[in-house]
């Protein structure tokens, strides 16, 4: 198999877009972006620095009064135009998505359609943001609540799904009337560059969305900047602690969507073929590099061996290959360093008593230049060991047997995370009971990701973050309530 390298001409060239101006280089360090399927450089990019962040904030603050004052129907119509253009140009995102992090061609066009859905849904809210009146007692008065935008929102998105994450935040933030400074991740910058280019092509006013591409120093400059009124961070818990520490200096509000170690609970009455197919998505979706992926398989003992046999057989048929090939199902992980880290976790998981039933070794031969690992399933993993408690962020599933319903709940809740959970059963009573007891922000019963649509709230419990994106809850993340009390007592007039 000949692995294709990305065409430079198909990749966007503007790591900075500030005040509507498309800039081919920033003032920061040079980045040699590596295509993870071949280990070769796609392009060298001069990233942003703190001065570029300041320019982006100035442009956003300048644009904010007019954007905030735009009537809801006008903003709605613009959001709908953006959605239509995303839909029409969905294929244009594919080269960027594949090149930046090894996403596969099979799923890449869906990301443009998903972006369209988010802008269309939240565009529909633009002319429906209204307050409420509150009855008063003690004195005649009229009291009302108005919902207003924060101002400038700084958005920091991760490398594993930058387009998905960016649009999940940008659509409600814009609908609410905020302006944006968006940081594209250094490891995967291209799809977010393309996103902002298309926003301006659709007619978004200059300065409403500004793009800076960079590494941690650029994110730190955004969080510390006094002109940014709120930060929305999607990424790791370790980085989130640094974000919160910096934001605390100015008491800046921060929304967090962080990691997960989501359980897939398979009861003995489940449809095992469906449960195995859905369970496999935890290793395949985003090449196993998804925060909400179901990566802990908790299987009732009576069907444990049968389930693992089905899953291992399915894993063996997952096609790894050239991400530009439409038949490829599983692409590479993001880097050589990530691959070494994942392999180390697999080895330690086996040393802790785990048993590899599928995969486990780096792919060689034609795959040797890239960062490929097949779907890996490790059975008999104790719930308290490293690989069961920590994010692997690769195509790795771990399996643990359980006996009772209550044991399954305890195992599922037995991590510091609480982002997603997946329950497979045909018993309605059990489904209601288990979902009520799970400490998780998003739960699927006999599914694997269907609720990741823009009208559903998405977010986590515990160390998976706080706040919600999606649905009316996501809209209100970017609005501040203002309470106004007005006396209805006529003033005395001096004669």
Give per-residue pLDDT as tens, 253-302: 999 999 999 999 999 999 999 999 999 999 999 999 999 999 999 999 99
Residue 1's pLDDT band, with cuts at 50, 70 and 90, is: low
Overall CATH class of domain 8-258+464-481 = alpha beta
Is 242 known to be catalytic? no
Catalytic pick among 183, 252, 278, 463: 183
Mean pLDDT, all residues of the chain: 96
Q: What is the pLDDT of residue 274?
A: 97
Dihedral in degrees, nearest 10, Cα atoms 189, 193, 196, 197:
-170
Is 278 known to be catalytic? no
Query: What pTM does this model have?
Result: 0.96
Is 183 known to be catalytic? yes
User: pLDDT, tens digit, for every residue of 19-44?
Assistant: 999 999 999 999 999 999 999 999 99
**214 beta partners:** 185
Catalytic pick among 257, 261, 463, 477: 257
Over residues 236-241, the mean pLDDT reads: 96
User: pLDDT, tens digit, for every residue of 177-203?
Assistant: 999 999 999 999 999 999 999 999 999
Distant-in-sequence, close-in-space partners of 87: CB < 8 Å, separation ≥ 6: 112, 113, 116
Q: What is the pLDDT of residue 451?
A: 75
Answer whether residue 250 shows pLDDT above 60.
Answer: yes
Catalytic pick among 126, 391, 463, 477: 391
Is 385 known to be catalytic? no
Answer whether residue 412 shows pLDDT above 70.
Answer: yes
Over residues 121-136, the mean pLDDT reads: 96
Q: Where are the domains of the chain?
A: 8-258+464-481, 262-445
Catalytic pick among 179, 278, 291, 463: 291
Q: What is the pLDDT of residue 495?
A: 55
Rounded (5°) CA angle 13-214-58: 90
Over residues 332-337, the mean pLDDT reads: 97
Has domain 262-445 been given CATH number 1.20.140.10? no
Percent of the chain with pLDDT over 90: 95
């Amino acid at each position: 198999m000949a692995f294709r390298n990305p065409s430079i001409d198909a990749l966007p060239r503007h790591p900075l877009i500030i005040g509507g101006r498309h800039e081919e280089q920033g003032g920061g360090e040079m980045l040699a972006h590596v295509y993870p399927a071949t280990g070769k450089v796609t392009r060298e990019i001069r990233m942003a620095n703190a001065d570029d962040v300041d320019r982006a904030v100035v442009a956003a603050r300048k644009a904010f009064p007019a954007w905030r004052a735009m009537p809801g129907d006008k903003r709605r119509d613009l959001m709908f135009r953006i959605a239509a253009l995303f839909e029409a140009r969905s294929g244009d995102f594919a080269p960027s998505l594949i090149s930046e992090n090894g996403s596969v061609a099979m799923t890449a066009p869906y990301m443009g359609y998903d972006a369209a859905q988010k802008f269309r849904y939240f565009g529909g809210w633009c002319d429906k943001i209204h307050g409420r009146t509150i009855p008063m007692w003690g004195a005649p008065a009229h009291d009302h609540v108005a919902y207003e935008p924060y101002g400038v929102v700084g958005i920091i998105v991760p490398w594993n799904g930058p387009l998905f994450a960016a649009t999940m935040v940008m659509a409600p933030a814009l609908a609410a009337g905020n302006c944006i400074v968006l940081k594209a991740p250094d490891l995967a910058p291209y799809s977010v560059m393309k996103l902002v280019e298309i926003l301006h092509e659709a007619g978004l006013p200059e300065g409403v969305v500004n793009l800076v591409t960079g590494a941690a120093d650029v994110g730190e400059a955004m969080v510390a900047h006094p002109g940014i009124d709120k930060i929305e961070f999607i990424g790791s818990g370790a980085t989130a602690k640094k974000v919160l520490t910096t934001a605390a200096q100015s008491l800046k509000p921060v929304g967090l969507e962080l990691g997960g170690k989501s359980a897939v609970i398979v009861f003995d009455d489940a449809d095992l073929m469906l449960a195995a197919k859905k369970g496999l998505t935890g290793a395949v979706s985003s090449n196993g590099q998804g925060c909400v992926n179901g990566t802990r398989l908790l299987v009732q003992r009576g069907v444990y061996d049968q389930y693992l046999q089905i899953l291992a057989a399915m894993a063996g048929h997952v096609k790894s290959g050239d991400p530009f090939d439409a038949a490829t199902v599983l692409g590479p992980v993001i880097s050589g360093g990530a691959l070494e880290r994942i392999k180390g976790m697999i080895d330690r998981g086996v040393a802790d008593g785990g048993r590899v039933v599928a995969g486990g070794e780096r792919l060689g031969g034609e795959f040797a230049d890239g960062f490929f690992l097949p779907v890996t399933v490790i059975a008999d993993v104790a719930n308290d060991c490293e690989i069961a408690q920590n994010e692997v962020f690769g195509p790795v599933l771990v399996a643990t047997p359980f006996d009772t319903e209550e044991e399954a709940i305890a195992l599922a809740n037995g991590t510091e995370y609480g982002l997603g959970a997946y329950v497979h059963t045909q018993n309605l009573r059990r489904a209601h009971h288990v979902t009520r007891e799970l400490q998780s922000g998003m739960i699927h019963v006999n599914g694997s990701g269907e609720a990741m649509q823009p009208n559903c709230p998405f977010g986590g419990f515990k160390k998976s973050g706080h706040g919600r994106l999606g649905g009316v809850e996501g809209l209100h993340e970017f609005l501040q309530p203002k309470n106004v009390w007005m006396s209805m007592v006529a003033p005395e007039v001096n004669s």
